[in-house]
Amino acid sequence: MSIRLMSDVWRTSLPTVEKMVLLVIADHANDEGTQSYPSQATIASKASISIRTVQRAVNNLVERGFIRMFKGAGGSANCREDRRPHLYQININKLRADIVTGRSNDTNGVTLTAVTGGQSRPMNHPTETSIKPSELFEEFWKIYPRKVAKQAALKSWVKVIQTTDPQIVIEGATRYLLDPNRSPTYTAHPATWLNAHRWLDDALPMRNVSPEEKREKELQLSKQKTERERQEFLEWQKEQELQRQRAVPPPQELRDLVKKIATK
C-alpha cells in the first residue's frame, strides 16, 4: 500500500470511475508505483463497479498515460500461469503533473487549480509540456514490421502521443513484431495500427501456417543452422591454431625414446 500515491490520486482531475480504479491500483502498489497486481474482480469489488467498467477504466488510464499494464505478468511465484493477474505500473510523473496542471473553468472563465481550488489568472499556454512531433517516432518506425506510408504513420503518431506514453506504444509495436501468429500478408499498416490503438490488443490467436510460410521458415532455420555450424567450425580452427602455436616440443630424450619403442 502506498498512502502517498493514493493521496496524489485523490487530487487528480480524473473522472470518478478512473480515479477509483487508480486508487485501488495505488492501494496495491509500493511507493514507486510498481508491483501492483490486483485482479479485475478485486478492483471491481473495491471500486463498487462492474468488471466491464473496470476494463474500460483501465484502458482509459493506459491511453492517457497514467498507468502501464503488463497482461498476465502479476501474481506470486506460486501462481498458475493461466491465472496470473495483470501487472500495473503507475506513471508517477504523469500523476503528479496532472495534480499541478489539472484545471477546470467556471462559467466566468476563471481558472481553478486542481490542488487548492484557488483562483488564478487565465492561462493561454497548454497544461502539459508539448511533445515534439517526431520524438521517438523513428524508434517506433524501426521496430514496426511493415514500412509503408511513413508520413501517414507520423501524423497518427503525433495524435496518439498526446494522450499516451510513447514507450507504451513502442512496447506494443515490439510485441506485434514478435508475435508468432502475425502473418506478414495481413500485418496492419502502421497508421491503421496506431489509429486503432492496437497496442492494447491481446496476443493474436493461433493460425494455420500455409505450406509456403512453413517452407520459408524451414529454409530460414536451415540457413541459421548452417551459419551457426560454420561459425563453430571457424572457432574450432582458430582454437586449434592457437594450441599449435602454444605447444612446446618434447625434449630430444623423450622423442628418442618414443622412436625406439616404435621400432621394436
For residues 9 and 106, membership in a common domain is answered with yes
pLDDT at residue number 31: 84
For residues 223 and 258, membership in a common domain is answered with yes
> What pLDDT tens digit does each residue of the chain (264 aa) get?
668 888 888 888 888 889 899 999 998 988 888 888 898 889 988 888 888 889 999 999 999 999 998 887 877 767 777 678 888 999 988 888 877 655 444 434 444 444 444 444 444 444 344 445 466 888 899 889 999 999 999 999 988 888 888 888 888 888 888 888 888 888 999 999 999 998 888 777 776 667 777 787 778 778 888 888 888 888 888 888 888 777 777 778 877 887 888 776
For residues 110 and 46, membership in a common domain is answered with yes
For residues 105 and 175, membership in a common domain is answered with no
Q: Is position 130 within any domain?
A: no
Which strands sit side by side in the sheet containing 111-113, from one edge to the other? 103-105, 111-113, 119-120
Domain end, chosen from 120, 153, 173, is at 120
| Cα end-to-end distance, the chain, whole Å | 86
Calculate the alpha carbon distances from 35 to 12, 32, 46, 83, 89 in Å: 22, 9, 18, 17, 7
Calculate the alpha carbon distances from 224 to 217, 220, 228, 229 in Å: 10, 6, 6, 9
What domain count does the chain have?
3
Q: Domain limits at 221?
A: 211-263
Q: Whole-angstrom Cα distance, residue 155 to residue 133?
A: 8
Domain end, chosen from 76, 94, 120, is at 120
Q: Is position 206 within any domain?
A: no
Task: Report residue 129 as a C-alpha cell.
Answer: 509540456
pLDDT at residue number 114: 42
Closest CA to 85 of 22, 23, 49, 43: 43
Task: Report residue 111 as a C-alpha cell.
Answer: 481558472
Closest CA to 142 of 164, 168, 167, 173: 173
pLDDT at residue number 131: 44
Q: Is position 126 within any domain?
A: no
Q: Give the distance between the most distant pair of CA atoms in the chain.
A: 117
What is the domain-level CATH number for residue 19? 1.10.10.10
For residues 187 and 220, membership in a common domain is answered with no
Predicted structure pTM score? 0.40
Backbone dihedral angles phi then psi of residue 27, each to the nearest 5 degrees: -60, -30
Q: Whole-angstrom Cα distance, residue 54 to residue 42?
A: 10
Domain end, chosen from 94, 120, 146, is at 120
pLDDT at residue number 4: 81
Q: Is position 163 within any domain?
A: yes
Q: What is the DSSP letter of 144?
A: S
Q: Is position 109 within any domain?
A: yes
Orientation of helix 92-101 relative to helix 3-10, angle to 10°: 40
Q: Is position 129 within any domain?
A: no
